[in-house]
């Protein structure tokens, strides 16, 4: 509290059906020499709650009859509470907690808020980030041990079947970041090697190996070599066919487009193939792309990859290298993935997000997303649906134009 903060203050709270001019009219009723120390308002389903904290308590309270008459004339409910001092200073340990799900029940939110209180933290403000296709709420909290609260709420999220993210507050929440994503079953809906194997009549065999590798049951490099062998002899033209079959995850283009507008750098790193990943990254305006390269001889795939396999360790190395290249500390990185080969990358990042991931990944990631919309990652970063839609309205038309493209 600053040294010149008045000790005698009044909190005025107005509740009314929202309409233009209420804030202006209330302020005009106050003594002209009164200082406004705090001013907040929220509108929910057309109902306004407006709070004004002002000094000159004696003068304001002397006007109480006139203020109540004004409120009655405008069909407003007005409460005045005099006291001493400004708002108490916020405690250290600022953090943001985002909870999202297709539907958030009162019991669910009560359980989460109770867990926050039991941790010793306080909820200072709440705002809605989105209502479609999921409901997303952001809690601004103080007095939090971010690591401990994240651990506590990750267990609770699984029990409640919601997604919860806890991130440090302050400047760490704002500014430029590096977003790095896996590709297969994350940026896109498909597993590219399975699309390729379909042309060789080996899709089911390859899919079974892929599933075991993503669950962490097989060494990724060995499993990749085993699967790529099934592609031997396919004409290189099959790559063009597969590129045309790849389907973006819902919300993928929105996610990339929005974070690019915010000045983020975006990278994709994949245990798949650069022949597919490279053109896709270029089409979306993604800054960095790294993946395996298929060996070709005589216009046909040899069933081998060139160079070292992009495995879980290489994914983490790329994230660190791109962060250094972009002049960003590792704390300002966000990684998104679904498989066991993404675990090192998720652990190395400032925020590791498991997207519709295998159980082993959900258990170890900082937070999870279990709805099929990749753009819900934006809510975990504190970006609201209104912000996204306003930017889209002001910006150029997007080539990917489904509702959640």
- The order of strands in the sheet holding 47-54 is 36-44, 47-54, 8-17, 77-84
Kindly give, in sequence order, each residue whose CB lies less than 8 Å from that of residue 391, ignoring residues fewer than 6 positions away.
Answer: 258, 261
Task: Report how many domains make up the chain.
Answer: 3
- The pLDDT value given to residue 405: 52
pLDDT of residue 391: 86
Residue 77 near residue 71, CB atoms below 8 Å: yes
For residue 403, tell me if it sits in a domain.
Answer: no
Residues marked as catalytic:
182, 184
Q: Which two tokens stand for residue 255?
A: 């996610």
Q: Given this model, what pLDDT does residue 402 score?
A: 40
Is 404's pLDDT higher than 80? no
Tokens coding 211: 């599933």
Pairing of strands 351-355, 367-369: parallel
How much is the pLDDT for 3?
44
Q: What is the DSSP string of 254-284?
A: HHHHHHHHTT-EEEEEEEEEHHHHHHHHHHH
Same-domain pairing of 328 and 267: yes
What integer pLDDT is reported at residue 207 of this predicted model? 87
1 in a structural domain: no
Residue 188 included in any domain: yes
Is residue 2 over pLDDT 90? no
Does residue 191 sit in the same domain as residue 338?
yes
**What's residue 351's pLDDT?**
95
Give the integer Cα–Cα distance in Å for 283 and 303: 27
Is the same domain home to 242 and 351? yes
Q: Tens digits of per-residue pLDDT, 352-381? A: 999 999 999 999 999 999 999 999 999 999
Residue 114 CB: number of other CB atoms within 10 A?
Answer: 11
Q: Supply the pLDDT for residue 345.
A: 98
Q: Does one domain contain both 25 and 104?
A: no
Q: What is the pLDDT of residue 6?
A: 58
Q: Are 230 and 202 in contact (CB under 8 A)?
A: yes
Decide if pLDDT at 328 tops 70: yes
Last residue of a domain, one of 158, 174, 190: 174
* Residue 178 bridge partners (DSSP): 265, 333
Write out the H or E segment, with its range, that includes residue 197. Answer: helix 192-199
Which tens digits make up the pLDDT trace of 55-80?
999 999 999 999 999 999 999 999 99
Cβ density class 248-283: b for 16+ within 10 Å, e for less: bbbbbbbbbbbbbebebbbbbbbbbbbbbbbebbee
What is the reported pLDDT for 117?
96
Per residue in 231-284, pLDDT (tens digit) is 999 999 999 999 999 999 999 999 999 999 999 999 999 999 999 999 999 999
pLDDT tier for residue 129 given thresholds of 50, 70 and 90: very high
358 three-state secondary structure:
coil
Question: Domain check: are 345 and 224 in the same one?
Answer: yes
pLDDT at 203: 86
CB 357 within 8 A of CB 366: no
pLDDT in tens, 189-240: 999 999 999 988 988 988 888 888 888 888 888 889 999 999 999 999 999 9
Strands 333-337 and 178-181: parallel
Structure tokens at 60: 């304001």
Q: Are residues 165 and 231 in the same domain?
A: no
Q: Which structure tokens are listed for 264?
A: 């983020």
The 10s digit of each residue's pLDDT in 82-124 is 988 887 777 888 999 999 999 999 999 999 999 999 999 999 9
Q: Which residues lie closer than 8 Å to 362 by C-beta, 6 or more apart?
A: 158, 354, 368, 370
The answer on 350 and 366 residing in a single domain is: yes
Query: Whole domain around residue 24: which residue ranges?
Result: 8-84
Residue 24 belongs to domain with CATH number: 3.30.70.260
Q: Average the pLDDT over 317-343 and give the result.
A: 96
Report the alpha-carbon distance of residue 19 to residue 103 in Å, rounded: 29
Q: How many CB atoms lie within 10 A of CB 368?
A: 23
pLDDT at 5: 52
**Domain's final residue, options 122, 147, 174:** 174
d(Cα 140, Cα 123) in Å, to the nearest integer?
Answer: 6
% of the chain at pLDDT higher than 90? 81
Q: Where are the beta strands (DSSP E) in 226-385?
A: 265-273, 288-297, 300-306, 333-337, 351-355, 367-369
Same domain, 201 and 144: no
Average pLDDT over all residues of the chain: 92
Residue 4 has pLDDT above 60, yes or no: no
């Amino acid at each position: 509290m600053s040294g010149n903060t008045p000790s005698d203050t009044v909190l005025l709270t107005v509740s009314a059906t929202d309409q233009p001019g209420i804030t202006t009219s209330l302020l005009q009723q106050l003594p002209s020499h009164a200082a406004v120390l705090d001013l907040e308002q929220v509108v929910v389903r057309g109902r306004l709650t407006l709070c004004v904290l002002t000094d000159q308590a004696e003068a304001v309270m002397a006007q109480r009859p006139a203020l109540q008459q004004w409120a009655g004339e405008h069909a407003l409910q007005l409460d005045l509470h005099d006291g001493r001092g400004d708002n108490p200073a916020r405690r250290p340990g600022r953090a943001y907690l985002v909870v999202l799900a297709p539907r958030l029940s009162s019991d669910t939110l009560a359980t989460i808020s109770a867990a926050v209180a039991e941790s010793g933290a306080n909820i200072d403000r709440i705002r809605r980030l989105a209502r479609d296709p999921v409901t997303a709420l952001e809690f601004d909290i103080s007095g939090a041990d971010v690591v401990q609260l994240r651990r506590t709420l990750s267990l609770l999220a699984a029990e409640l079947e919601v997604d919860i993210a806890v991130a440090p507050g302050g400047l760490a929440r704002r500014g430029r970041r590096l977003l790095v994503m896996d590709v297969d079953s994350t940026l896109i809906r498909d597993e590219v090697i399975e699309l390729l194997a379909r042309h060789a009549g080996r899709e089911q065999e390859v899919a079974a190996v892929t599933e075991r590798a993503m669950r962490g049951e097989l060494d990724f490099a060995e499993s990749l070599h085993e699967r790529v062998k099934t592609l031997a002899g396919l004409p290189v033209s099959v790559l063009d066919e597969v590129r045309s079959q790849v389907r973006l995850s819902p919300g993928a283009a929105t996610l990339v487009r929005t974070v690019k507008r915010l000045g983020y750098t975006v990278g994709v790193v994949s245990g798949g193939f650069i022949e597919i990943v490279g053109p896709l990254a270029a089409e979306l305006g993604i800054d960095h792309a790294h993946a395996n390269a298929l060996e070709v001889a005589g216009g046909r795939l040899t069933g081998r990859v060139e160079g070292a396999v992009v495995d879980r360790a290489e994914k983490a190395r790329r994230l660190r290298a791109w962060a250094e290249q972009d002049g960003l500390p590792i704390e300002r990185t966000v990684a998104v993935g679904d498989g066991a080969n993404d675990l090192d990358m998720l652990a190395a990042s400032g925020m590791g997000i498991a997207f519709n991931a295998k159980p082993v990944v959900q258990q170890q990631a900082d937070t999870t997303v279990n709805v099929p919309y990749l753009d819900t990652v934006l809510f975990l970063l504190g970006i609201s649906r209104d912000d996204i839609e306003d930017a889209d309205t002001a910006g150029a038309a997007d080539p990917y134009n489904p509702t959640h493209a």
